[in-house]
Amino acid sequence: MSFVDTGEFRLHYQDTGWPSQTALERESAGPKMSATKPGRTSGPPAPLVFMHGFTLDHRMWQAQATFLGKTRRVLALDAMGHGKSDAPETGYCRADRVEHLRGFVDALGIDRFHLAGLSMGGTTAIGFALKYQQRLASLTLVSSAAAGWDASNKVSLVDRLAREKGLERARQKWKDITLLFYKKDHQDIRRLMEQMIDDHSGAIWMDPMRGRYPRDNDLPNIHKITIPTAIFVGELDRIFVPLAEQMHKSISGSVLHVYEKAGHMLNMEAPQRFNRDLADFLNRVS
């Protein structure tokens, strides 16, 4: 298991792909000269950082880490309170998650990287792009929400249940909501999602500041994102399709992929297609 210690807390992550040697060994090796473009250096492609969805963890990106790790370094981070990362009592607003991500890449000595996030992870990625855009080689938003956008009261319903009936009642209700789509098909996805939700600390629901944090609004500012951006959404994820289309119109030069017969977890539902499309995008912008 790999952890980053920020001095205040520990964040867990999965590190896959190039390189196998340590950072010190890479530094001592130095850059290699490009045979195709004399005078320019060729080294490894910028690493890719994955951010997971709410109550999930790095395991949701396993198929992508395995596939993309063949050609680049892939880091799948457990957000605070999720997976094996620390779960303090408070500190779970979007602004906190953005700074956790910045502290994570700083601790690993990563100056510039590709960033991909699903749902809550997409919201974190948007926040990071709006604040630290110069550090990103590209942005990938998958079934992404956005700060200030709320088309459903399901999360607030579970928040209320956690306060009134306790964490385990809230956890069960959340599983009932999020796993409904996978009741008959994709039993492997259902099992993994259920395991991740069961392993989730629940601290974010019990945060005394939950619902009281200052709220950002991304939509008036999202046009300021000018780095290469890919947006993915499943056509059956009807709540998120209009937002994906709106973000595509606002982010100049962005590409939009709408997957037919796919829902919210489209990277798990259509991994081969998603891996190919994401790899093509990363190769094109690198």
Reported as a single tens digit per residue, the pLDDT across 176-193 is: 999 999 988 899 999 999
CATH of residue 261: 3.40.50.1820
| Domain assignment present for 95 | yes
Reported as a single tens digit per residue, the pLDDT across 48-66 is: 999 999 999 999 999 999 9
| Domain assignment present for 114 | yes
CA angle 89–91–94, rounded 5-degree value: 145
Cα separation, 179 vs 176, in Å, equals 6
Diameter over CA atoms, the chain: 66
Q: What is the pTM of this model?
A: 0.91
Give pLDDT, residue 153: 64
| Domain assignment present for 258 | yes
| Domain assignment present for 167 | no
- Give the range of the structural domain holding residue 127, as residue numbers without chain letter: 44-149+214-285
Q: How many structural domains comprise the chain?
A: 1
| Domain assignment present for 136 | yes
Give pLDDT, residue 151: 61
| Domain assignment present for 160 | no
| Domain assignment present for 37 | no
Reported as a single tens digit per residue, the pLDDT across 234-283 is: 999 999 999 999 999 999 999 999 999 999 999 999 999 999 999 999 99
| Domain assignment present for 177 | no
